[in-house]
A and B are shown apart, each in its own frame.
Chain A
Amino acid sequence: MAASPPVLHHRRHAPPLYGVIAEFENPGDLVHAARKVYDAGYRRINGYSPYPIEELSEAIGFTHTSLPLIVFIGGVIGGLSGFFMQYWIEVIDYPINVGGKPYNSWPAFVPITFEMTVLFAAFSAVLGMLILNKLPQPYHPVFNAPNFALATRDRFFLAVEANDAMFDHDKVTDLLKNLGAIEVSDVEV
Chain B
Amino acid sequence: MAEETENRPYIEGPMHSTAPVIDPGLTFASVTDKISSIVLKRKTSLAWFFGFAISFALFQLMLLTITNLVFVGIGLWGVNVPVAWGIDILNFVWWIGIGHAGTLISAILLLLRQKWRTSINRFAEAMTLFAVAQAGMYPIFHLGRPWLMYWLFPYPNTMDIWPQFRSPLMWDVFAVSTYATVSALFWFVGLIPDFATLRDRARSKPFQILYGMLAMGWRGSARHWHRYEMAYLLLAGLATPLVLSVHTIVSFDFAVGIIPGWHATIFPPYFVAGAIYAGFAMVLLLTIPLRRFYGLEGFITMRHMHNMAKVMLATGLIVGYGYVMEAFFGWYSGNKYERFMIWNRMHGPYHLYYWSLILCNIITPQFLWIKKVRSNLLALWIISFIVSIGMWLERFVIVITSLHRDYLPSSWGMYQPTQWDWGMFIGTIGFFFTLLFLFIRFLPMISIFEMRTILPEAEVEE
Q: Which residues of A line the B interface, CB within 8 A? A: 26-28, 31-32, 34-35, 46-57, 60, 62-63, 65, 67-68, 71, 75, 85-86, 89-90, 93-94, 96, 98, 101, 105, 108-109, 111-112, 114-116, 118-119, 121-123, 125-126, 128-130, 132-133, 135-140, 142-143, 148-154
Contact = CB atoms under 8 A, between A and B. Distances in A.
Contact of A50 (B174, B186, B452, B460): B452
Contact of B217 (A53, A140, A150): A140
B225 interface: yes
Interface stretch (B4-12, B24-32, B42-50): B24-32
B360 to A, nearest CB: 31
Contacts of B226: 52, 57, 62-63, 65
A118 B178 contact: yes
B238 A122 contact: yes
- Which 7 A-B residue pairs are closest in the complex by CB-CB distance? A154-B28, A136-B216, A129-B231, A47-B222, A137-B217, A52-B225, A111-B171
Contacts, number: 204
Contacts of B102: none
Nearest to A59: B222
Contacts of A51: 193, 225, 449-450, 452-453, 458
A122 B178 CA distance: 10
Given A62-B226, A67-B230, A89-B162, A111 B174 contact: yes
Interface string B184-205: 0110110001001101110000
Given A122-B182, A129-B189, A57 B225 contact: yes
Interface string B223-248: 11111111100110011011001000
State the main secondary structure of chain B at its contact with A: helix
B219 A143 contact: yes
A76 B401 CA distance: 42
Nearest to B449: A51
Contacts of A27: 457-460
A119 B184 CA distance: 12
Contacts of A111: 168, 171, 174-175, 245, 249, 252
B229 A52 contact: yes
A168 B178 CA distance: 52
Contacts of A150: 200
Given A51-B458, A129-B228, A68 B162 contact: no
Contact of A57 (B217, B222, B235): B222
B32 A55 contact: no
Contacts of A46: 221-223
B212 interface: yes
Contact of B220 (A49, A115, A132): A49
A115 B223 CA distance: 31
B223 A57 contact: yes
Contact of B178 (A34, A54, A119): A119
Q: Which of B32, B174, B197 has the most CB of A within 10 A?
A: B174
B225 A126 contact: no
A121 B306 CA distance: 35
Interface in B288-307: none
A152 B460 contact: no
Q: Which of B164, B252, B459 has the most CB of A within 10 A?
A: B164
A133 B174 contact: no
B224 A133 contact: yes
Nearest to A51: B452
Given A49-B220, A139-B217, A129 B178 contact: no
Contacts of B27: 154
Contacts of B449: 50-52
A112 B165 contact: yes
A121 B238 contact: yes
Contact of A125 (B225, B238, B241, B450): B238
20 contacts: A46-B223, A48-B219, A49-B222, A56-B222, A63-B226, A86-B165, A89-B163, A89-B165, A111-B175, A111-B249, A112-B170, A133-B227, A133-B228, A135-B216, A150-B200, A151-B219, A152-B193, A153-B28, A153-B33, A153-B201
Contacts of A65: 226-227, 230
A96 B163 CA distance: 11
Nearest to A114: B245
B245 A115 contact: yes
Interface in B19-65: 27-29, 32-33
Contacts of A32: 462
Contacts of A135: 216-218, 224
A129 B201 CA distance: 25
